[in-house]
């Protein structure tokens, strides 16, 4: 499970002065490896882990520990904790570390990260796609879902259509309905199980009118996700049903 602890960024440390005592000059390697592995490294964010792994071979091995990157992935994209998706990610060359480097929007996570756009050309040749979608309101997770779809041998020329989903809404739905749509933070990751590749499709803009509309008892906001291999359109819809609001993700 993803750790609930706050993650910290590493700040550069000044070397001890010329008159420093032995205790003042103590390095991180004086800490027991088990304490580092279980209590310190899990509190670091991805960039801090990548920076730490570049300092020594010992830290590189410790920072490559699979559970660290699994927890980072689950906390960043809760949909990756889906059993089917966990199995798919386990087949990636370096498991969750590879998956995170493909999907995280900063190139400094992995020295090979700059090759990912070239490798994504292979995403188009597949019979199966997986979409991992998460939606946050401010910093609160509203829902996560994983969608599997076949494409008949190649990626379709038309956008992927996300079918209706009725998730268990988390958070205050009144705040979601009546608040501004820019408080919604969606993410959509496209996974190719056969090629063991993934791409984080960026939510580039709201489609059509960015404001909420209330027609026929609905509130709606539209998103478009774009990437090197695909474009996905979907709508977040709040519908009034049987005396209560229901939150759904619908195709356009």
Looking at residue 46, the DSSP 8-state letter turns out to be H
**Residue 211 CA: distances (Å) to CA of 109, 204, 218, 219:** 35, 16, 13, 9
40-57: pLDDT as tens digits = 777 777 778 777 777 777
Average pLDDT score, the chain = 67
pLDDT digits (tens, 9 = 90+) for 65-103: 888 889 889 988 999 999 999 999 999 998 998 999 888
At residue 99, the pLDDT reads: 92
Structure tokens at 93: 């060359």
Give the model's confidence band at 22: pLDDT under 50 very low, under 70 low, under 90 confident, else very high.
Answer: very low
Per the model's pLDDT, the better-predicted residue between 84 and 27 turns out to be: 84
Distance, in Å, from the CA atom of 49 to the CA atom of 151, rounded to the nearest integer, reads 37
Q: What do you get for the CA distance between the two ends of the chain, in Å?
A: 33
Q: What percent of the chain has pLDDT over 90?
A: 9
Return d(Cα 90, Cα 95) in angstroms, integer.
Answer: 5
Task: DSSP letter for 13, please.
Answer: -
pLDDT attached to residue 154: 46
pLDDT for the residue 80: 93
> Which of 223, 146, 148, 239 lies closest to 185, judged by CA?
223
pLDDT tens string 155-212: 444 444 454 444 555 556 666 666 666 777 888 888 989 888 888 876 655 443 444 4
Q: Is pTM, for the whole model, over 0.95?
A: no
Which residue, chain included where needed, has tokens 């996700």?
225
Find the mean pLDDT for residues 1-26: 47
**Is pLDDT above 60 for 8?**
no
Using alpha carbons, select from 33, 41, 31, 29 the residue that is nearest to residue 3: 41
**What is the reported pLDDT for 124?**
52
| DSSP per residue, 206-220 | ESS--S-EEETTEEE
Tokens, residue 234? 């979907």
Distance of CA 94 to the CA centre of its chain: 17
**Stretch 98-118: mean pLDDT, rounded?**
59
DSSP string spanning 65-105?
-HHHHHHHHHHH-GGGGSHHHHHHHHTSTTHHHHHHHHHSS
Six token digits for residue 168: 């268990």
Provide the CB-side half-sphere exposure for 252 (13 A, CA). 16
Question: Given CA atoms 123, 124, 126, 129 in this order, what sign does their dihedral have?
Answer: positive
- Helix or strand or coil: residue 18? coil
Neighbours of 12 (CB within 10 A): 5
The per-residue pLDDT for 158 is 45
d(CA 188, CA 102) in angstroms, rounded, equals 13
């Amino acid at each position: 499970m993803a750790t609930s602890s706050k993650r910290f960024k590493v700040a550069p440390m000044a070397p001890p002065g010329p008159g420093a005592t032995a205790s003042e000059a103590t390095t991180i390697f004086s800490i027991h490896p088990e304490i580092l592995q279980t209590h310190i490294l899990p509190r670091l964010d991805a960039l801090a882990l990548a920076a730490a792994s570049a300092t020594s071979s010992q830290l590189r091995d410790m920072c490559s520990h699979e559970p660290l990157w699994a927890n980072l992935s689950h906390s960043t994209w809760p949909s990756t904790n889906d059993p089917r998706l966990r199995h798919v990610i386990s087949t990636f060359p370096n498991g969750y570390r590879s998956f995170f480097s493909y999907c995280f929007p900063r190139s400094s996570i992995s020295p090979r990260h700059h090759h990912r756009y070239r490798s994504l050309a292979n995403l188009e040749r597949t019979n199966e796609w997986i979409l991992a979608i998460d939606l946050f309101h401010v910093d609160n997770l509203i829902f996560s879902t994983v969608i599997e779809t076949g494409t008949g041998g190649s990626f379709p020329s038309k956008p992927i259509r996300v079918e209706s989903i009725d998730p268990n809404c988390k958070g205050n739905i009144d705040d979601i309905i009546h608040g501004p749509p820019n408080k919604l933070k969606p993410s959509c990751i496209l996974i190719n199980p056969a090629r063991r590749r993934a791409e984080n499709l960026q939510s580039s803009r709201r489609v059509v009118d960015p404001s909420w509309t209330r027609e026929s008892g609905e509130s709606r906001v539209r998103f478009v996700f774009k990437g090197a291999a695909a474009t996905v359109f979907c709508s977040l819809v709040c519908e009034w049903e049987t005396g209560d609001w229901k939150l759904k993700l619908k195709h356009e």
